[in-house]
Amino acid sequence: MKIKSKMIQLLICLLMLSSASAESTKASVAKVDYNEIDDLLVQVVLNMAGNEELGERFYAKKEAAKAAQEKMQSAMMRGEAFDPRAAAAGMMHDDSDQKKVDQLCQKHLLELIERVFEDRYEIIFKDEYRSSLLFTRGAIDDVTMTVKQELLKALPSN
């Protein structure tokens, strides 16, 4: 009887220790895969009130870059000469509107994560805002799908 009682006490103690250690390993760092949400994030941000003009310019430049790319590829496929400098100028997308959209997206994503996850995660952005690589020695939760759902909810009804 004493052995059974001691074994039960030992098992209970081990269960308490294992549950305490499981709680201490909960992730405090989360991962968002920007490749999954980038287009959706841009769409939500550019559909917000006050960003209509920026959205029109941004999408016009995006379409112009796509057209320049297609024109260059078509000329290459037909063996025609093309001006690489003109093609490159048409594809440049590193301008002030792009930087403004990136900044607005980063701001909106920070606000969304703070609202949805409150103080559950410590958020650290690296040099590149869209970098999905985080270094940690612990577990990483991927919250991409939750963020994607929130962005989908924020899209205007068409």
Q: Residue 156 carries which DSSP code?
A: P
Q: Is 19 left (phi over 0), alpha (psi -120 to 50) or beta?
A: alpha
Structure pTM? 0.62
The residue whose two tokens read 């796509």 is: 66
- For the stretch 33-63, pLDDT in tens is 777 888 999 999 999 999 999 999 999 998 9
Q: DSSP character for 157? A: P
Structure confidence by residue, pLDDT tens digits, 92-151: 556 889 999 988 988 898 788 888 887 777 765 554 555 654 444 556 778 889 999 999
Q: Report the alpha-carbon distance of residue 88 to residue 113 in Å, rounded.
A: 37
